[in-house]
Amino acid sequence: MSSCFKQPDEQLLSDLKTIVGDGGWKPGNDASRYYEDPRGRFEGSGCLVLLPENTQQVSDIVKRCNESKVGIVPYGGGTGVVAGQMSISSANAIVLSLERMNQVRELLLDDEVIVAEAGCILENIHETATNHGLMFPLSMASKGSCSIGGNLATNAGGIQVVRYGNARDLCLGIEAVLPCGTIYSDLSPLRKNNTGYDLRHLLIGSEGTLGVITAATLALKPIDAETATVYCAVSSPADAFGLYKQVRKHLGNSISALELMSQFGLELVTEHFPALTKPFAENHDWYLLLEASGPLGTGDRLEVALAECFESEILLDAVVAQSKAQQDGLWDLRENTPEANRSAGAFCNSDTSVPISKVDAFIKLTTEKVKGIHPDLRLNTYGHIGDGNIHHNVLPPAGISKADFIAENPNIVEAVRMAINETTIAFGGSISAEHGIGRLKIQDLELYGGEAKLKSLRSIKAAMDPNNIMNPGAIVA
């Protein structure tokens, strides 16, 4: 893969530094934060980190790199978990961080849109929208670090997809620098615009391989009058889903989040974050964190729905948050789960989606298969169950460190990964529901993508980026 990145000559490096000016670049060997992997599995490298301040500078950089056929790795917040934002096998990469392009360009309140530069941190967009009486629904545990450019480049999902859709569904317009350096600008707030191929949708989810997203027009939503959050104890993922359907009869599409957790997951997060408290005195097998936002009375309607679920014995116990602090406490259990997995030595992290009707059977079969590989493996299974998006995090047996366990069982990571992948495909699912392909899942895409898709991906890449300068080695090897 190192051949993907041609070595830049001194003249090019000097020209790039001139484009961004003093303070707009960092030497590649003194920029370790850009090479970190949130899950600690990879280490990136590069020869220069560029921090452009505006779209024209991005265009000039891309033009110069294209002339020299030198590869660029776009970088947002660095929270991607599939090594898309880092060159892992060549130190020749030019890292292009959008962090200084972090301004809100426009807030069109009547159109209910915000025009934000790519480097805006997701949480800051939330704050700006809320300060103006609206909200931006895309949200995930990495919201304090990830950027909107990265969110769009990965078509991120997160916790409110069940009601509002993925990043793609919230983006009305896009500005991007294409691989030849041309600026594509379509930041209009139009909600309908069928004028030929939609470049916006091609760029969304392209993980920096077709261009650098520099700004986007994002759809904002009204803030609901009331938000009710409940942590439910259930017997199985099937019952979690049954509960959702029952509650939906009372709340319609007010249900905005639906997160599955297991008893093991709850133990793990409270062990690694001792300030967090378990919602129930008793243990149960599974839990569902459900949030509904709607008009006044939403909380009352939720209580009625929950009472009905108790009667039909789908619901075993429930804690309804009585304050914002309690809501945050329940969400902390879910949002600290990725970090708890990492601290506990998870060595396999799946990002699977299956048809929602098959979630329960999928969890049962994958658990059985993983335990069949080694009976003492521990699975922290959780996820956005309303979207059929399940994350299996597989941990070594209790009392053994990740490093020691893998040293003793050198083939286990691959065996577990393939067991989950094969089951996913057998269930008609996806091996990457929301994280993308990056560099981590290229082989999986090649294995399961199918000839028509792979051929089309390669043709699109070759047509738009003939010199293979945009994030070479990601998605399309």
Ligand X SMILES: Cc1cc2nc3c(=O)[nH]c(=O)nc-3n(C[C@H](O)[C@H](O)[C@H](O)COP(=O)(O)OP(=O)(O)OC[C@H]3O[C@@H](n4cnc5c(N)ncnc54)[C@H](O)[C@@H]3O)c2cc1C
Helix (H) or strand (E) holding 73: strand 72-75
Q: Which is nearer to ligand X, 157 or 345 (CB)?
A: 157
Q: Does position 4 bind ligand X by CB under 6 A?
A: no
> 429 vs 438, which CB is nearer to ligand X?
438
Binds ligand X (CB under 6 A): choice among 90, 142, 298, 367: 142
Spatial distance between the Cα atoms of 125 and 147, rounded to a whole number of angstroms: 9
Contact region for ligand X (CB under 6 A) — 71-79, 252-260, 366-374, 415-423?
71-79
Characterize 107-132 residue by residue with b for buried, 16 or more Cβ atoms within 10 angstroms of its Cβ, and e for exposed.
beeebbbbbbbbbbbbebbbebbeee
Q: Is residue 381 part of the contact set for ligand X (CB under 6 A)?
A: no
Is 441 a residue that touches ligand X (CB under 6 A)? no
Contact between 388 and ligand X by CB under 6 A: the answer reads: no
Tell me the window of 140-148, 223-231, 283-291, 407-415 that interacts with ligand X (CB under 6 A). 140-148
* Distance between CA atoms of residues 60 and 65, nearest Å: 9
Check residue 156 for interaction with ligand X (CB under 6 A). yes
34 belongs to the binding site for ligand X (CB under 6 A)? no
Choice from 8, 46, 71, 74 touching ligand X (CB under 6 A): 74
Q: Which of 62, 93, 116, 140 binds ligand X (CB under 6 A)?
A: 140
Site for ligand X in 217-246 (CB under 6 A): none
Asked if 76 interacts with ligand X (CB under 6 A), we say yes
Q: Per rule CB under 6 A, is residue 474 in the interface with ligand X?
A: yes
Distance (Å, rounded) from C-alpha 59 to C-alpha 181? 5
State the binding string over 188-207 for ligand X (x if CB under 6 A, else -). -------------------x
CA dist 129 and 223 (Å) reads 10
Buried b (16+ CB within 10 A) or exposed e, 79-105: bbbbbbbbbbbbebbbbbbbbbbbeee
DSSP character string of 35-68: GB-TTSS-B-B-SEEE--SSHHHHHHHHHHHHHH
- Residue 95 makes contact with ligand X by CB under 6 A: no
Whole-number Å distance between alpha carbons of 149 and 2? 26
C-beta closer to ligand X: residue 156 or 230:
156
Identity of the residue, 74 or 242, whose beta carbon is nearer to ligand X in the bound complex: 74
Residue nearer to ligand X on the CB measure, 207 or 465 = 207
The answer to whether the beta carbons of residues 81 and 349 sit under 8 Å apart is yes
Closer residue to ligand X in complex, CB, 143/378: 143
Ordered DSSP codes for 395-441 = EPPTTS-HHHHHHH-TTHHHHHHHHHHHHHHHTT-BS-SSS--TTTT
Q: Which residue is nearest to ligand X (CB)?
A: 150
Query: For residues 76 and 137, which CB has a smaller minimum distance to ligand X in the complex?
Result: 76
Q: Report d(CA 305, CA 218) in Å as an integer.
A: 34
CA atoms within 13 A on the CB side of 115: 15
Considering beta carbons, is residue 378 or 441 the nearer one to ligand X? 441
Q: Which of 142, 144, 139, 166 is nearest to 155 (CA)?
A: 166
Residues that bind ligand X (CB under 6 A): 38, 73-81, 84-85, 98, 118, 140-142, 146-147, 149-151, 153-154, 156-158, 207-208, 212-213, 338, 434-435, 438, 471, 474
